[in-house]
Amino acid sequence: MRNRYHLGLAMIFFLSSVSITAAQDPQKKSAPTWKEIQPLFEDNCTVCHGGEGPTRGLDLETRAGVLKGSRAGAVVTAGKPDDSELVKRIRGESEPRMPLDGPPYLTETEIALIETWIRAGLPDAAAEKPAEPGGKQKPKEPEKTAKRGPPAPGEPVTWSHVAPTFAKRCVKCHKDGGIRGAAPEGLELISLERVLHGGERVALIPGNANASPIFRHIQGIASPRMPLDGPPYLTQGEIALIERWIQGGALDSAGKSSPIPAGRKVRYRGRLTGIWQIDGVKVVVDGSTRIDKKKRPGVGDNAEVRGVILPDGRIRATRLRRR
């Protein structure tokens, strides 16, 4: 009897230990499959890494695209999340951190789910369920995923809304080490901070879209029209959204207005469409403005304006001449 009593206690202790260990070890749980991972990419990544021209050739719409990687090579290593570039980017260990329009970035829980999927060997799907009586298999339910859409009517446009467009159509050139080497004219578009910094010249004037070189180039007012690999260029919807964003103060992802780069120099070349207007952009002309007598422009002439940005976002012309 005593031996049976001790044997029973030992079994209870053993089974309890196994249960506690399994509960504490997340690896004992079944690994997520592509069905569980795909919505994370859909919500956060495929606006750039999807469609007909995914950024850097990396298509995250399908598991096959994840395995194929980008033009630079593989982005995941089965069984080794710590060695996978995709994980390093969403963690922020490699630059730029992804998704490019963050913060907010993926949560710790979401990142851990992707890491577990990679560690498990990137499983495609769980074993199929047994067929129903009669030999017919239950049809699969369509997967429902939420997509990051445009702002609701009346909602302010923030960096989060326009960043995907820059990432998909502009960043491939406008970043250090892009497809053209150094960023053209030093202008990087990888983050709001870099957009506001500009390059050799100011690229954006919060509250004054028509005077912002970025807007002028994507709309085709200034030459060359951007993106440089167009057509197709940005859609009218994309252009209108960027215009609303700049005109509304170039809000960051948290809804805070960006500062006006007062005192910085600008230069425009275009058509004089009115008295002291370049392509509709009004400029302030005063007694300090140098207007070349031999090249004094008239309405309809091609002209060049050099000036400085005023605290209210307007441009004060320092020089005006016909070109």
Which of 235, 261, 287 terminates a domain? The answer is 261
Q: What is the pLDDT of residue 53?
A: 67
Find out whether 303 and 319 touch, Cβ atoms under 8 Å.
no
Same-domain status, 84 and 173: no
Residue 80: strand pairing partners: none
CATH (domain of 290):
2.40.50
Q: What is the pLDDT of residue 147?
A: 43
Residue 149 lies in a domain: no
Radius of gyration (C-alpha) of the chain in whole angstroms? 28
Find out whether 195 and 189 touch, Cβ atoms under 8 Å.
yes
How far apart (Å, rounded) are the C-alpha atoms in residues 200 and 195? 12
Q: How many domains does the chain have?
A: 3
Q: What is the pLDDT of residue 14?
A: 37
Same-domain status, 277 and 254: no
Same-domain status, 112 and 178: no
Kindly tell me the burial class for residue 199, based on how many C-beta atoms sit within 10 Å of its own C-beta (0-12, 13-18, 19 or more). Answer: middle
User: Could you tell me the residue range of the domain that residue 59 belongs to?
Assistant: 34-119
Residue 19 lies in a domain: no
For 92, left (φ over 0), alpha (ψ -120 to 50), or beta? Answer: left
SS3 sequence of 66-118: HHHCECCECCCCCCCHHHCHHHHHHHCCCCCCCCCCCCCCCCHHHHHHHHHHH
Residue 291 lies in a domain: yes
How far apart (Å, rounded) are the C-alpha atoms in residues 162 and 170? 12
Same-domain status, 175 and 254: yes
Same-domain status, 266 and 256: no
Which of 261, 283, 301 terminates a domain? The answer is 261
Beta-carbon-side half-sphere exposure of residue 101 (alpha carbons within 13 Å)? 21
Which of 222, 243, 261 terminates a domain? The answer is 261
Same-domain status, 244 and 184: yes
Same-domain status, 253 and 284: no
Same-domain status, 238 and 277: no
Residue 53 lies in a domain: yes
Q: What is the pLDDT along the chain (323 residues), one digit of tens a residue?
A: 444 444 444 434 333 443 333 334 444 457 899 999 998 898 788 877 877 667 788 989 899 999 999 988 999 999 999 999 999 999 999 888 888 766 778 899 999 999 999 999 999 975 434 334 443 444 333 333 334 567 888 899 999 899 888 888 888 788 877 777 888 999 998 889 999 999 988 999 999 999 999 999 999 998 899 998 888 899 999 999 999 999 999 999 889 999 999 999 998 888 999 989 988 889 999 999 999 888 888 899 999 999 999 999 999 999 999 98
Residue 227 lies in a domain: yes
Q: What is the pLDDT of residue 238?
A: 93
pTM for this prediction: 0.62
Same-domain status, 203 and 244: yes
Same-domain status, 224 and 182: yes
How far apart (Å, rounded) are the C-alpha atoms in residues 161 and 145? 18
Residue 271 lies in a domain: yes
Q: What is the pLDDT of residue 8?
A: 47
Residue 124 lies in a domain: no
CA angle 98, 102, 104 (to 5 degrees): 115
Q: What is the pLDDT of residue 154?
A: 86
Q: What is the pLDDT of residue 126?
A: 55
Residue 27 lies in a domain: no
Same-domain status, 286 and 206: no
Same-domain status, 203 and 169: yes
CB atoms within 10 A of CB 216: 22
